[in-house]
Amino acid sequence: MRVKHIAQAVLFSLPWLARPALPQQQQFAELGDFKLESGETLRGCRIGYRTLGQLNAQKSNVMLLPTWAGGTTEQLMGSAGPGKLADTSRYYVILVDALSNGVSSSPSNSRAQPHMRFPKITIRDMVNTQHELLTRVLHIPHVRAVMGVSMGGMQTFQWLVAYPDFMERAVPIVGSPRVAPYDLLLWQAQIDAIETDPAWQGGDYAKNPARGAEYEFGALLLTTPGHYNRITTRQQVLEHIAEAKKSGGGSDANDKIRQSEAMMALDVAAPFGGSMERAAAAVKARALVVVSKNDHVVTPGPAVEFAHGIRAELLELDSDCGHMATVCEAERIRQAVAGFLQR
């Protein structure tokens, strides 16, 4: 993996995310005005999604994959196919664009609530819109599995607790049921980098701010010093930072802020008085929890503890690739997921 692509790794990309030759068509569900967990209303809520594979007559082979932070279903397409992480020879796979990813309703595309006038959202809001998409639009009352990576894993944990009867299996991969203090620090630091950039202009910017900082955070956090130093030369570091600043690419800053705030607010135990034990007791589905021991983006501890609480199967990745162990140990993950879903 070339280091210049670590800027995109903020989106938690995986090796199975290469675009296929004929990507499934982007579709949208219009949910209307949607009441958020905060009590505010998201005007004209629109959810993007794609479907792959064949739905069986009993509607018993559905698998849901929500996107990671900043990710889109187009980028997620390569994770689904015969023999892939989401095996379309067995499952009818529904990929869903999470709120504030620039495809579904987001600060960057909302006409009624643009930029920072877009209300704050939570991971539970993302899950609630997905539940509405499945039940009211696609008429699917139950799924075989929910699976997601990073922020997709956070949504998977939320699904387990919020809708315990809706799925049979769940596979959160390098996600968390409640982000740790270190995780709060890194997301707040990224928000601060955006909002202190002179180009920020209160969110009404002409040029996407803090592009260099986004690359730098990704390069620092997504892997470990040992792994980064093996794949990067001293010359490449400065070249890639300069390239990131010049390109203006990466996540839209307003979108990134709202998704970052959602992850920071995540706590599946909140409806249970903050008790993880009570939250775990509400879970009914079987789960395979995948964590990376050296993860600097999502501290693995909360996921490991919750896995024990719900008697889940636990896969601990132990390479020095950090959050990007999903790349370095991709085949190990694929095999573990395939075996778990088929049992």
Q: Is 170 left (phi over 0), alpha (psi -120 to 50) or beta?
A: beta
Q: What is the pLDDT of residues 177-192, one digit of tens each?
A: 999 999 999 999 999 9
Residues 6+ apart with CB under 8 A from 273: none
Distance CA 156, CA 71 (A): 15
CATH classification at residue 154: 3.40.50.1820
Is position 135 within any domain? Answer: yes
Collect all residues with Cβ–Cβ distance below 8 Å to 233 and sequence separation of at least 6.
none
So what's the pLDDT on residue 19? Answer: 39
Cβ neighbourhood burial of 335 (10 Å; 0-12, 13-18, 19+):
exposed
List % helix, strand, coil for the chain (3-state, nearest 5): 45, 20, 40
DSSP readout, 100-123? TSSSSS-TTT-SSS-GGGSPP--H
Q: Which two tokens stand for residue 324?
A: 């990007």
The pTM score is 0.93
Q: What percent of the chain has pLDDT over 70?
A: 93
Q: Is residue 134 part of a domain?
A: yes
Q: With CA atoms as reference, report the closest residue to 9 among 195, 174, 179.
A: 174
Average pLDDT over residues 6-33: 59
Reported as a single tens digit per residue, the pLDDT across 73-129 is: 999 998 999 999 999 999 999 999 999 999 999 999 999 999 999 999 999 999 999
* Cβ-based neighbour number of residue 82 at 10 Å: 9
**What local confidence, expressed as pLDDT, does residue 9 receive?**
40
Q: What is the pLDDT of residues 237-292, one digit of tens each?
A: 999 999 988 886 778 999 999 999 999 999 999 999 999 999 999 999 999 999 99
DSSP conformation letters of 204-263: --SS---HHHHHHHHHHHSS-HHHHHHH--HHHHHHHHHHHHHH--SS-HHHHHHHHHHH
Determine the structural domain holding residue 100 and report its residue range: 3-183+255-342
Residue 205 lies in a domain: no
Strand, helix or coil for residue 35: strand
Residue 201 confidence (pLDDT) above 50: yes
pLDDT tens for residues 228-237?
999 999 999 9
Q: Going along the chain, which residue ranges are E strands? A: 27-35, 41-52, 62-66, 92-96, 143-149, 167-173, 286-292, 313-317
Residue 251 pLDDT = 86
Gap between the terminal Cα atoms of the chain: 34
Token pair listed for 6:
């670590």
Strand positions, DSSP E, 183-225? none
More confident residue, 7 or 62: 62
Q: At what angle do helices 151-162 and 301-309 cross, to 10 degrees?
A: 30
Q: Which residue has the higher pLDDT, 300 or 7?
A: 300
* Rounded alpha-carbon distances, angstroms, from residue 278 to 104, 161, 306, 309: 32, 10, 11, 9
In this prediction, residues 314-321 reach a mean pLDDT of 97
Q: Which two tokens stand for residue 242?
A: 């300069």
Tell whether 193 is covered by a domain. Answer: no
Amino acid at 132: E
In 20-164, alpha helices (H): 73-76, 123-132, 151-162
Whether 236 is in a domain gets the answer: no
Indicate whether 39 belongs to any domain: yes
Residue 14 lies in a domain: yes
d(CA 221, CA 219): 6
CB 208 within 8 A of CB 176: no
Q: What is the mean pLDDT of residues 29-46?
A: 98
Please report, for residues 62, 178, 284, 300, the alpha-carbon distance to residue 168 in angstroms, rounded to integers and kept in the order given. 10, 22, 8, 24
Tell me the C-alpha distance between 183 and 48, whole Å: 28
Tokens of 293: 């021991």
Closest CA to 287 of 175, 197, 124, 141: 175
Report the SS3 class of residue 334: helix
How does residue 24 score in pLDDT terms, banded at 50, 70 and 90? confident
Whether residue 141 lies inside any domain: the answer is yes
Gap between the Cα atoms of 31 and 197, Å rounded: 35
Structural domain total, the chain: 1
